[in-house]
Amino acid sequence: MAALKYAGLEDTDSEEELPPGWEERTTKDGWVYYANHLEEKTQWEHPKSGKRKRVAGDLPYGWEQETDENGQVYFVDHINKRTTYLDPRLAFTVEDNPAKPTTRQKYDGNTTAMEILQGRDLSGKVVIVTGANSGIGFETAKSLALHGACVILACRSLARGNEAVQRILGEWHKAKVEAMTLDLASLQSVQNFAEAFKSKNLPLHILICNAAVFAAPWSLTEDGLESTFQVNHLGHFYLVQLLEDVLRQSSPARVVMVSSESHRFSEIKDSSGKLDFSLLSPSKKEYWAMLAYNRSKLCNILFSNELNRRLSPHGVTSNSVHPGNMIYSSLHRNWWVYTLLFTLVRPFTKSMGLCCYGINFVGDLFLGFLSVFLWLLTLELR
Ligand SMILES: NC(=O)c1ccc[n+]([C@@H]2O[C@H](COP(=O)([O-])OP(=O)(O)OC[C@H]3O[C@@H](n4cnc5c(N)ncnc54)[C@H](OP(=O)(O)O)[C@@H]3O)[C@@H](O)[C@H]2O)c1
Chunked mean pLDDT (size 10), the chain, 382 residues: 32 69 82 86 86 81 81 83 85 63 61 80 94 95 94 98 97 94 98 98 97 95 97 98 97 95 86 86 92 95 96 94 84 81 78 50 56 56 47
Looking at this protein, which amino acid is placed at residue 45? E
* Separation between Cα atoms, residue 109 and residue 291, nearest integer Å: 27
Which of the residues are catalytic? 293
Residues 6 or more apart whose CB falls under 8 angstroms from that of 82 comprise: 76
Is residue 136 lining ligand 1, measured as CB closer than 6 Å? yes
What pLDDT does 9 receive?
Answer: 35
- Ligand 1 pocket, residue 139 CB under 6 Å: no
Paired sense of beta strands 206-209 and 63-67, if any: unpaired
Helix axis angle, 235-249 to 289-311, nearest 10°:
20
pLDDT of residue 368: 58
**330 CA to centre of ligand 1 in angstroms:** 7
The CA R_g of the chain, rounded to the nearest whole Å, is 25
Tell me whether residue 218 is exposed, middle or buried, using C-beta atoms within 10 angstroms of its C-beta: 0 to 12, 13 to 18, 19 or more: middle
Cis peptide before 98 (omega within 30 of 0): no
Q: Are strands 253-258 and 206-209 parallel, antiparallel or unpaired?
A: parallel
Atom 47 of ligand 1, residue of closest alpha carbon: 212
Give me the pLDDT at residue 7, please.
29
- Give the per-residue pLDDT at 332: 82
| Residue having the nearest C-alpha atom to atom 6 of ligand 1 | 260
| Cα 136 to ligand 1 centre (Å) | 7
Residue 88 confidence (pLDDT): 85
184 lines ligand 1 (CB under 6 A): yes
